[in-house]
């Protein structure tokens, strides 16, 4: 006599897919099999699942798997390491530079001049930006990216790329194929610039440009 506790039908029938893929633990497997011996529904279901699995496997087994090609991934890792090294070099340069208070004062003065200069020249720069790309009437004030993707970029790939960068399409494509991108919440300049660097280095991006609308923070 079998001393194992009988498994209820509802529990057993749920586990059948993993019985046929042979991933149930020994005890669980034996308990499901015990149940199936006395349950015609589970036996029939097992057969149906095996049949489904075999048919699906037969028809959608992928064509021969290509040999690993690491050229693309190696180039991406090289670029990543290069960016990290560049960042480290900048940090150490800044640390070295800031040992003297005179240098700090010089940097502060330069930054102030740049900020004032930008404020004075702002309206001209803003008008200039809109001469190259179509302008959307409906976008709220904020920082955006305008991007032209390569035609070979698939929808799936586009989704993965945008998801990686936390971006969404908020407008476009325009007649010239220009998309306007933003983050879900309003994007800061720093976030926008990081996304811009990634997009500019991406092989499926033909063109990427920052756009500031209105008095965005």
What residues contact 22, with CB distance under 8 A and at least 6 apart? none
57 binds another protein (CB under 8 A): yes
Nearer Cβ to another protein (50/96) = 50
Q: Which of the ranges 55-63, 107-115, 133-141, 193-201 carries the binding residues for another protein, by CB under 8 A?
A: 55-63
CA distances from 171 to 34, 106, 159 (A): 59, 42, 15
CA distances from 75 to 66, 80, 89 (A): 19, 9, 21
Q: Give the distance, in angstroms, between the CA of residue 215 and the centroid of all CA atoms in the same chain.
A: 29
**Cα 97 from Cα 104, distance rounded (Å):** 8
39 binds Zn ion (CB under 5 A): yes
Nearer Cβ to another protein (3/156) = 156
Nearer Cβ to another protein (96/164) = 164
- Among another protein, Zn ion, none, what does residue 49 contact (CB within 5–8 Å per kind)? another protein
Nearer Cβ to another protein (18/207) = 18
| Contact yes or no for 146/129 (Cβ under 8 A) | no
Tokens found for residue 55: 């048919």
Binds another protein by CB under 8 A, chosen from 6, 52, 98, 113: 52
Binds another protein by CB under 8 A, chosen from 2, 3, 27, 62: 62
Closest among 162, 194, 168 to 182, alpha carbons compared: 168
Q: How many residues bind another protein (CB under 8 A)?
A: 45
- The count of other CB atoms within 10 Å of the CB of residue 126 is 13
Q: How far is the CB of 138 from Zn ion (least distance, A)?
A: 58
Tokens found for residue 123: 């309206």
198 binds Zn ion (CB under 5 A): no
Q: How far is the CB of 17 from Zn ion (least distance, A)?
A: 14
| Contact yes or no for 170/138 (Cβ under 8 A) | no
What is the binding site for another protein (CB under 8 A)?
A: 14-15, 17-18, 21-24, 43-44, 47-53, 55-57, 59-60, 62, 65-66, 68-70, 72-74, 76-77, 80, 152, 154-160, 162-164
């Amino acid at each position: 006599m079998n001393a194992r506790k009988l498994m209820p039908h509802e529990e057993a029938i749920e586990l059948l897919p993993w019985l046929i893929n042979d991933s149930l633990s020994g005890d669980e497997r034996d308990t499901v099999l015990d149940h199936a011996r006395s349950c015609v529904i589970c036996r029939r279901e097992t057969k149906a699942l095996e049949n489904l699995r075999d048919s699906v496997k037969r028809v959608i087994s992928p064509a021969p798997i290509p040999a690993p090609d690491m050229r693309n991934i190696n180039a991406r890792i090289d670029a990543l390491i290069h960016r990290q090294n560049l960042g480290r070099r900048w940090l150490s340069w800044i640390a070295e530079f800031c040992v003297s208070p005179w240098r700090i004062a010089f940097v502060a003065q330069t930054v102030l001049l740049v900020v004032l200069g930008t404020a004075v020249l702002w309206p001209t720069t803003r008008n200039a930006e809109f001469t190259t790309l179509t302008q959307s009437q409906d976008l709220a004030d904020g920082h955006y990216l305008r991007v032209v993707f390569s035609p070979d970029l698939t929808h799936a790939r586009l989704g993965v790329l945008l998801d990686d960068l936390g971006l969404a399409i908020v407008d476009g494509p325009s007649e010239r194929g220009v998309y306007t991108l933003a983050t879900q919440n309003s994007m800061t300049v720093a976030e926008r610039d990081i996304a811009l660097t990634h997009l500019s280095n991406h092989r499926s991006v033909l063109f990427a440009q920052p756009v500031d609308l209105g008095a965005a923070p």
